[in-house]
Structure 1
């Protein structure tokens, strides 16, 4: 059974509604995507989905409408789909228990699963999004009312094209006027019929108005992805041929340089022989002076030895080097408190403080949920 079904042809609102209604009730697909949907048709479809006489509110589904791209996406979440939200909640709870997250977090941050937001700015006016998990800072000083936008959003589900993932992130980041600081996307994909993989993408809104993207492989693990990327970078006959041509040119230059060096060495040998004859006479005279200097040098050496005993330079041990190597290894991704609070942290909270997200823990959770479906984790 296909997890995702896309419709690129123009469809009437009744046809769209019936496709969505069937998928919601039968759970035959987990995501439906409709392209080039007329905004008026979307309004009719949404009214039908929300109307109480259709009895669809008892089912779990989420509606995403990108008014700028005219794309309607309906998500019917599964336990696998929901697992990344559980992972993030676990990371937050762990931070609160260990003290990494200050106590003021509890009353100043609202964490809500799948709330609906439809207050986006142009060109995304009238768009609607239901993130799988949102972090909405509450307004100081009483921390009773929530802000208009989330600061951090999680969207999970089945893999889509890189272009579509970027469009989803852009809607949140730019449609909120930059108030959404971080969009986390955890996507699953099927390599074969029974093998499921997973990757994580973190999109950030920077102060200069641009966004950045970091991607992490969950299944298969990161080292496998690096190996593949290394083969791709090293591969390609064109690059190899260029390197060989460069090596041949360098070889000819090296031969010419060796001949010049040999001629120069012969001239140096002749000059050195003449100098040696004159140096023998000078050496006889210098021997007498050296005998007198030896006694002074011995005394100076004794003083230097005493100084060396006082100043001992510790050798760098292997453990120290190992720690330095470990510090260069990639670390788990994090979100700063400045990002969580969209630049307005509560008093006493360090804006540069971080909440880390354990990728290995996500890997364990995803692996278990995939096996629960009767599938094989891609490892």
Structure 2
């Protein structure tokens, strides 16, 4: 349409100039038909120009709308968008990217993009840059970027090279996504996985220990049964040997043999007690109880098992002696101490059981290396 109007414009101009020349040459008469045709054509031409102007205005409005739409899509995209030249200087940056980096739009133009990369991540970017110019393909990688206020955030970078007509890389376009929350979630998940793996490992270890303990418990029950029966036999042997030793009908020549039998039987009894102690350790059942009351009850048993010429006394200062332990093990410890004291006495004497509180001071060496500082219960048999 524009070409047609231009041609008409030339023709109308030529005809108008011809009429003007004829008037200058003194020709007073101009054919009416010719004038009317010229006016008609000028009117049509004017209308066509107005239509053309209207079309141009509509096109301009359309292009203006598309331009504003482009600006809106560019600036308010859900990701940051940056274009770089061949020297990695920023040519364009959208509003989302400026908000991520925390500065005004004018502060980024012509600045090097590497200024905003965390120092420890510079090598990552330069490696990706070399690949970009060597291969010319799109890339995806992660960096930590610096904000204007000095803080950092984790970013996913999607890079696409810009090429000229010859296919040479002349710059690139970067799409930037803030993945800080995702990184934090990953770190939390990783920590949870570590804890979970640790719990699974501990559970497996506990299961193995439980299986082993069940096996030991079965063996212990068998050993305890055998030890109990064997202990009954030893008790009979020991009882008869001691009766024969004190009997006036026993020849003096047998006293040494009876003493050896009694001594050997006591050694065997100690071995039986060790077996019982071993089986009880594998089925330990800690309980909360008062140690002073417990000792008083156990002492009644000792009074029936030690010789009559040995006196058993208690020295327990009134206090709180609450503990949490396996009563069977405590009884075994106390039994071993009392029996050892009994064996150390030749004839007659006193076995004294002392229970008291004891405090280990920080500057005091521990009686046993693992013993911590603080209040302890002290049990003495002498």
Answer whether TM exceeds 0.5 for this pair. no
In which range does the TM-score fall when normalised by the shorter chain?
A: under 0.3
Larger radius of gyration: 2
TM-score by length of 1: 0.25
TM-score by length of 2: 0.25
> In proportion to residue count, which structure has more helix?
2
